[in-house]
Amino acid sequence: MNTFDVIVIGGGHAGIEASVASAKMGCKTALFSMNIHTIGRLSCNPSIGGSAKGHLAKEIDALGGVMGILADKSGLQFKTLNTSKGPAIWSSRSQNDKDLYPLFAQELLLSTKNLSVVNSNIREILIDKDSIKGVITENGETVFSKCVVLCSGTFLNGVLYTGMNGIAGGRIDEQSSTSISRNLLSYGFKTGRLKTGTPPRIDRNSINFSMLSEVGGDVVPKPFSFRTSTVRNTLTCHQTTTTEKTHNILRKGFSESPMFSGLIAGKGPRYCPSIEDKIERFSDKNSHQILLEREGLTTDSVYVNGFSTSLPRAIQEEGLHSIVGLEKCEILKYGYAVEYDYFFPNQLKSSLETKAIQGLFFAGQINGTSGYEEAASQGLIAGINAALTVKDMPAFTLSRAEAYIGVMIDDLINKESEEPYRIFTSLAEYRLLLRQDNAYKRLSKYGFNFGLIDNNQYEVLQHKENLTGQLISFAQESKASPATINEYLTDIGESKLAETTSLSIIAKRQKVSLKELFSIVNTHDSFPATNELFEKAEIEIKYEGYIKRQLEEVEMFQQTESKLIPKNLDYSSIKSLSAEAREKLIKISPVSLGQASRIAGVSSTDLAVLMLYIR
């Protein structure tokens, strides 16, 4: 077993995608995990997707990744979030069985052709000059490979905190891996510290549900993956809030919160703040929302979403007991904070290969991101590119105009973030084009070309796209007269038609549903379309003007992206660049003027200098 094409280190969400993609692309692949039974764990909240994260999950599925399938199989509740906003912002989220998700993941890995799963720590990554040779396991065994994808998550120099007590470990009850950090530092890699926290888990039987409101899934639940036919809702969550009393109790422990008192040096996430952070930052708010998420059908463990904390145990307990419904709750696992190493992601190319070591890829939390979906999408890209490297084929990258994954990776390698990076719709300039509903249209061609989506599956997707196109043309050609349609328009509060108009023009109105239109003018029978197809077509029709404007922006974007910067440009000889810009440009060595424009510290003047210089 001593030689592989690709070695993946770490069996988290990044590692799973990387190893499956590489193996499916025909590379002999090994996944090294320090404990096979923890592969695919949902170590934080028991859910997949959410605002913008749902987009990532869809994109992973469209590229032929596996997260969507695993989420569907282990899903207990499915919901589309943000439906009060436009379709570009709609995001899928599922509540998942925390025990089932890893089991399905492990089953999938073990049944994947070309993939060996190895239960072993890695002591060292073997590098010869500036390219990958393989790894050395904890037993001192040398395993050779052409590529290594490092997805070690928070395990690098991880320290766990509850109150002021710190213990070494990646996640609770697991050991942290420090030797790889040291190993890579010696090759000049630079690291920083980040922190993140989790909330306590409580016993379901100790919650007084009679006081709480229920939060259910969608009436018609939709799966993540196009390869899943149906999913069901089998779980209900419950909602409660903290009170002023809770906040007062927690404040008593502030001096003993490691994240809060500064004992942990790493920067914490702005968007998934601890409860102590929220109380301090939004001091005028006297209550915060808490969502109680049961972690599975066969467990009594409930995840207290919104109550991430590293306060001393006694304070956590007292605080929880002051919340409606949780007065007598029993804590199964206390909240904790974890501080860990990450590698500055500007040391990576957009393929996620390190610039310094050929064949070495980084994916997931190691790059300073937070979240399963962020990790999985990086894992997928790194896995694909590791396989392409083995095959000596050009790297695969996605642009900001193509996918949220492209936005994320471009941000990671060009911008500087002092806190864990989490995806948001506001980060995507071209988000009206990057919707969940068109993820397959955007990306499945790549998945198909890489062999991650098979022929039959691809045909199904193509067929759907064709039908959507036909549906749109049909709507443009079919007309409705005022007599047939005005009653409907009046009912929904839209103004009446004065003359016979095409359905596609009527459907542009905010409250008009394309499906309803079709049924009223009786074209429904002549066009057998599913709800999904009607939805896709309606979005294209309704927002056509906006989509067009956004496409114009993309065209401008692509112009600067295509202005390439010569590879060996000597920035140090360009005197008129600012010192900061020169340093950053040397470090990152952007491919194009477009990329240069996004590097933190490169001003528009620096950019003008570059333009004039490379003319």
Partner 1 sequence: MSSSNTVCALATPPGISGLAVIRLSGEESFSIADKCFRGKVLLSEAPSHTIHYGKIYDGDVLLDTVTASIFRAPHSYTGENIVEIGCHGGLYTTSNIISTLLNNGAQIAKPGEFTQRAFLNGKLDLTQVEAVADIIHASSVQGSHVAARQLLGGFKNKVDSIRKELLSICALLELELDFSHEDIEFVDKNHLTTLIGNSINTCKNILDSYTSSSILRDGYRVGLVGYPNAGKSTLFNALLDKKRSIVSPIAGTTRDYIEDSLSLNGIWIQIYDTAGIRQDSMDIIEIEGIEFTRQLLETSNLILIVNDISISPLHSVSLYKQLSLLYPEAAFCYIQNKIDSVSQSLVSISDIDSLPVSSLQSIGIKELKIFIEKLASANVDRISDVLLNTRHTAILSEIIKSLENANCSLNIHFSNEYVSLDVRKAIYLLGEITGEVMNEEILNTIFSQFCIGK
Binding site residues, partner 1, CB under 8 A: 50-51, 81-82, 84-86, 88-89, 91, 271, 289, 424-426, 429, 431-432, 510, 543, 546, 549-550, 553, 556, 559-560, 563, 575-576, 578, 597, 604-605, 607-609, 611-613, 615
User: Taking a C-beta distance cutoff of 8 angstroms, is the pair 415, 591 a contact?
Assistant: no
- Report the distance separating Cα 580 and Cα 584, nearest Å: 6
User: Taking a C-beta distance cutoff of 8 angstroms, is the pair 159, 176 a contact?
Assistant: yes
Residue by residue, DSSP assigns 555-594 as: HHHHHHHTSBPPTT--GGG-TTS-HHHHHHHHHH--SBHH
Residue 311 φ then ψ, to 5°: -70, 160
Residue by residue, DSSP assigns 307-341 as: ----S-HHHHHHHHHTSTT-TT--EEE--EEEEEE
**Residue at token pair 């993609």:** 21
How many C-beta neighbours within 10 Å does residue 26 have? 15
Closest of 30, 113, 126, 29 to residue 387, by C-alpha:
29
- Report the distance separating Cα 1 and Cα 31, nearest Å: 12
Residue 548 burial (10 A CB sphere; 0-12, 13-18, 19+): exposed
Nearer to partner 1, 82 or 470 (CB): 82
- Minimum Å distance from CB 267 to partner 1? 19
- Minimum Å distance from CB 578 to partner 1? 8
Please state whether beta strands 213-215 and 201-203 pair in parallel, antiparallel, or not at all (unpaired). Answer: unpaired
Please state whether beta strands 122-128 and 115-119 pair in parallel, antiparallel, or not at all (unpaired). Answer: unpaired
Structure tokens given for 41: 């764990």
Instruction: Please count the residues of the chain.
Output: 615
- Report the distance separating Cα 135 and Cα 592, nearest Å: 34
- Report the distance separating Cα 574 and Cα 267, nearest Å: 35
